Amino acid sequence: MRGKQRWLDDPRHSSLFLGGYGTMEELLEMITWSQLGIHNKPVGLLNVDGYYDTLLALFDKGAREGFINADCRHILVSAPTAAELLTKMEQYTRSHQEVAPATSWEISELGYAKAPPADG
């Protein structure tokens, strides 16, 4: 979580390099956070030798079949080289609407009280 907070606090775009399931989960979380309006940064995927072609095809199919908002499909940008990916990320402009306004997922708006301060 500490790494994610630093990522969100950095005003520039950031990259995530994928490894195993946990890192893929992080990728999907960053895409979701963009949908919710928690950040407005591009999410980049370095697709060396087409390694993630099937994952990208899954996202495309989800958008075609209505499981992923078509405009949200463009949150994730990918390229086969680091130079091309950085260029795409620098040129990224947000084109999707948030799927839920920020206040709808804030704890205070859900009717939950803030956690009491811990006794010191």
Domain positions in the chain? 41-96
Backbone angles phi, psi at 76, to 5 degrees: -90, 125
pLDDT in tens, the chain (120 residues): 445 555 555 555 555 555 678 878 888 998 888 888 788 888 899 999 998 999 999 999 999 999 988 888 888 999 999 999 999 988 887 766 665 555 555 555 555 555 555 665
Give φ, ψ of 23 to 5 degrees.
-70, -35
Task: Please tell me the predicted confidence (pLDDT) of residue 83.
Answer: 94
According to DSSP, residue 71 is labeled G
Q: How much is the pLDDT for 22?
A: 83
Q: What 8-state DSSP symbol labels residue 15? A: B
Give this prediction's pTM: 0.66
pLDDT given at position 87? 93
Per-residue pLDDT at 58? 95
The pLDDT of residue 1 = 47
Cβ atoms < 10 Å from Cβ of 67: 10
- pLDDT at position 63: 92
Please give the Cα distance from 118 to 71 (Å, whole number).
43
Beta bridge partners of 44: 15, 77
